Amino acid sequence: MKESQDNTTHFGYKTVETDKKASMVADVFHSVAAKYDIMNDLMSFGIHRLWKRQTIACSGVRAGHKVLDLAGGTGDLTARFSELVGDKGQVVLGDINDSMLKVGREKLRDSGLVGNIEYVQMNAEMLPFDDNTFDVITIAFGLRNVTDKDKALRSMYRVLKPGGRLLVLEFSKTDNEALAKLYDMYSFTLLPAMGKLVANDSESYRYLAESIRMHPDQETLKSMMDEAGFEQTDYQNMTGGIVALHRGFKF
């Protein structure tokens, strides 16, 4: 019998049973975790560092804040937030994938960042925190892998303090036709080949390319944040709209 629409979701371009997506995404990130940082630099030609720097600049994080770096992976944002919040603040590096969390923990501890960082394995749809806990929440290149994005956004809103802000850094849609064609060629030809060469895994990187195409565009994600309760939502495009940084506040 064919699954009803309510019981299916997208895994890249495939339609899969909703309750199986999380484990399928987990398999992808178990596979790529060890080479994740290297592949990030190669895939983006290092530009991901500029995207993340802009996210930090827009976060308003300061000394004493409590920050949730959701889907924080190997901890690029967490490292900088740890420095900004200082001894009286706290950063929670949260990720659903234990392999990514392990890589992030080892990297940050090797960098000497230990005092104000907590590591928690969690599902973005059901955040294990009290209401009004965090001053700032970030999710960078993670929302597109969440099964129920609306539920996750509502969960983020719940645990954010009044006056706090959410920042969503994610691949998005370019309206430049020439750039779109070039990006498609890169995503579906060079990216899987690079994944095969560096990480010995072309299929995971093919999924990642497909997941980018299936992610809501800028205006749709903005509307989803509005529906979740966020106010003064806006976004800025970077690199021609290949990436967008969305921001919303809880009042």
Which residues sit in the known binding site? 74, 95, 123-124
Contact 139, 30 (CB under 8 A): no
Contact 195, 39 (CB under 8 A): yes
DSSP, residue by residue, 45-101: TTTHHHHHHHHHHHH---TT-EEEEET-TT-HHHHHHHHHH-TT-EEEEEES-HHHH
Q: Which of these, 196, 244, 243, lies nearest to 233 by C-alpha position?
A: 244
Contact 111, 79 (CB under 8 A): yes
Annotated binding residues for S-adenosyl-L-methionine = 74, 95, 123-124
> What's CA 222's distance to the chain center, in Å?
16
3-state secondary structure of 118: strand
- CA distances (Å), 70 to each of 76, 137, 174, 177, in order? 12, 7, 25, 32
Contact 224, 149 (CB under 8 A): yes
Distance CA 234, CA 236 (A): 7
Contact 198, 39 (CB under 8 A): yes
